[in-house]
Amino acid sequence: MTASAPAPGGTLGVLGGMGPAATAEFLRLLAARVPAADDQHHPRIVMLSDPSVPDRSTALTAGSDAPLPALREGLATLVRWGADLLAVPCNTAHVYIDRIRAELPVPLVHIVDATLRAAMALSPEGGWLAATTGTVASGLYQRRAAELGYRLLVPGPAAQASIHRAAVLVKAGRTGQAGQLLASALRPLWRRQQLPVVAACTELPLAYAAAALPAEAMVSSLDALAVACVDGLYAAPAPGAASGPELLAAA
């Protein structure tokens, strides 16, 4: 072992499967972001991949609470398995999670806050919101961006339909087609304003990579969540201060 390598401050619980490819990419990014020199300095992770959770965007547009029971039970299961910190690599799910967040006995790394922090660092002047139709309609990102004073532009209906379809294609394993469709939706937006894309759906970074678009023009919610989880797990508090997840809980 390397003595200088930091040790994680707890167990991360990941509620995934929304969708499976995005969850796998999140775990890859998390491993790449961890400041570890060997296996023993990586965090303990318990994961529940539950693709049976009803489609979040479909439920939102229909005014349905169908995903809520599965999300509540999944997070409770992770806590029973020993999770000290929770993460859900699905943006749209957070519309429902926000309703039960106060019930959670351990802190949750919020993907919206993590993504907007990354967007503000990359492009203080603003960004284009790329998300599922359910996320956009919910106002999840727009409200938080307004609270932070961040300028977030929303695509028109035609571009939004293509962006949503690109996410669906990734879920179906058609990532190449998703990339082509996403690129066709984003290029007109960039002609209007040269601002980075805030990929506020965890499938969209995969589509974006498949399109071979400029990496510096996209904020990945997957990578932002991974970075925030690492920050929470490897926090270095002052002596006597709360550590890791406890610090997040107090925030």
Residue 183 sits in the same domain as residue 127: yes
Same domain for 87 and 123? no
Asked if residue 216 and residue 133 are part of one domain, the reply reads yes
Number of domains in the chain: 2
Q: Is 244 a member of any domain?
A: yes
Q: Specify whether 105 is located in the same domain as 119.
A: no
* 4 within some domain: no
pTM of the model: 0.91
Pairing of strands 108-109, 85-87: parallel
Tell me the C-alpha distance between 140 and 78, whole Å: 24
Higher pLDDT, 179 or 9: 179
Residues 244 and 166 in one domain: no
What is the per-residue pLDDT across 62-104, written as a single tens digit (0 to 9) for each? 999 999 999 999 999 999 999 999 999 999 999 999 999 999 9
CATH number of the domain where residue 235 is located: 3.40.50.1860
Considering the domain architecture, whether residues 210 and 121 belong to the same structural domain is answered as yes
> Phi-psi bin for 54: left (phi > 0), alpha (psi -120 to 50), beta?
beta
Beta carbons within 8 Å of 47's beta carbon, 6+ residues apart:
13, 14, 15, 16, 23, 27
The pLDDT of residue 7 is: 81
- Is residue 219 a contact partner of residue 127, using CB atoms and an 8 Å limit? yes
Q: Are residues 24 and 92 in the same domain?
A: yes
Same domain, 119 and 98: no
Residue 159 sits in the same domain as residue 206:
yes
Query: Residue 5: inside a domain, yes or no?
Result: no
How far apart, in whole angstroms, are the C-alpha atoms of residue 117 and residue 44?
A: 25
Q: Which domain holds residue 37?
A: 11-110+224-250
Whether 71 is covered by a domain: the verdict is yes
Please report, rounded to a whole number, the percentage of residues in the chain having pLDDT higher than 90.
90
Confidence class of residue 241 from pLDDT cuts 50, 70 and 90? very low
| 230 and 156 housed in the same domain | no
Same domain, yes or no, for 157 and 232?
no
Residues 154 and 120 in one domain: yes
Reported as a single tens digit per residue, the pLDDT across 167-206 is 999 999 999 999 999 999 999 999 999 999 999 999 999 9
pLDDT tens, residue by residue, 112-151: 999 999 999 999 999 999 999 999 999 999 999 999 999 9
